[in-house]
Amino acid sequence: MGIRYPGGKKFQGPGSNLHKKSARENQGFANRGMTLEKDINDTNDYYLASGIAVIHKKPTPVQVVGVDYPKRSAAKITEAYFKQPSTTDYNGLYKSKYIDFEAKETRNKTSFPFGNIHPHQVTHMENVIFHGGIAFLIIRFSSLGETYFYEASHFIWWYKNQTKRKSIPKQSIEQHGMLLTEGYIPRVDYLKIIDKIINTM
C-alpha cells in the first residue's frame, strides 16, 4: 500500500527499498513502541470495562485514493494519504476531566529526544492545558524497563526554553515525573497519578 503525506511525499515504511535491512532488524523496527501501546490499550480496556474512565486511542486520519479489487469479495488499498497531522495518541474522560496524552518509547538511557514529539503536538497540548484539560506524556525507557508519567507543562518548558539541547535529561523526568509501577491488571495504572493532580486543581 502506498501512503503519502500531505503534499504528495511518499511515506517510507520499514519494508520500503529505502529502508532495506535484515529480517531481524525490520522485525525490531516494526515492533518498536508497540509494547507500551499494548500496555496502555489493555489498561484503557480495563478502565472502560470497570466503569472507571473512557479513554481511547485516536485513529490516524487517512484518505484512501487508490483501491484494487483482486476479487469481487475483497478490496486492497493501494494508495492513501495522511489527511492531516495527528495530535496526540490518546484522549478521553475521567471524573469529568478531559484527558489527553502522548505515549512514547525510547531506547536512550539518559534523555528523551525532542524529535519524538512534533511541534503541532506541543501546540495541541498547550491548548488542552489552556482550556482546563489534563495533558501529559507516558514515557518508557525501554532498555531500562522504566515508565514515567510526565506532565505536559514540564515537557513544554524544556521544549521552548532549552534551545541548545535536543532532549530532556532523564534526571529531570525522574525529578518532575512519576515512575509508573507496572502491574498485571491494570498494566500501567496512570489514573492514580491523575487523581493526585485533580486533588490539587
In the sheet with 90-94, reading across from the earlier edge strand, the strands are 54-57, 90-94, 97-106, 134-141, 146-151, 178-179
- Single-letter code of the amino acid located at 102: E
183 pLDDT band, cuts 50/70/90, is: confident
Give dist(CA 153, CA 122) in Å, integer. Answer: 10
pLDDT tens for each residue of 138-181: 999 999 999 999 999 999 999 988 777 889 999 999 999 999 98
pLDDT tens for each residue of 34-87: 589 999 999 999 999 999 999 999 866 554 556 677 776 676 666 545 444 568
Q: Is the Cα torsion angle 62, 64, 68, 69 positive or negative in sign? A: positive
In the sheet with 2-4, reading across from the earlier edge strand, the strands are 2-4, 74-82, 62-71
Q: What is the pTM of this model?
A: 0.72
Least confident of 24-33, 101-110, 143-152, 187-196: 24-33
β 178-179/97-106 pair status: unpaired
Alpha-carbon dihedral of residues 12, 13, 15, 16, nearest 10 degrees? Answer: 0
Q: Which domains does the chain have, with CATH numbers?
A: 2-199 (3.40.1350.10)
Give dist(CA 168, CA 63) in Å, integer. Answer: 35
Give dist(CA 145, CA 129) in Å, integer. Answer: 29
Query: In this predicted structure, what is the pLDDT of residue 29?
Result: 34
Of 17 and 78, more confident: 78
Query: In this predicted structure, what is the pLDDT of residue 58?
Result: 81
C-alpha cell at 175: 525529578
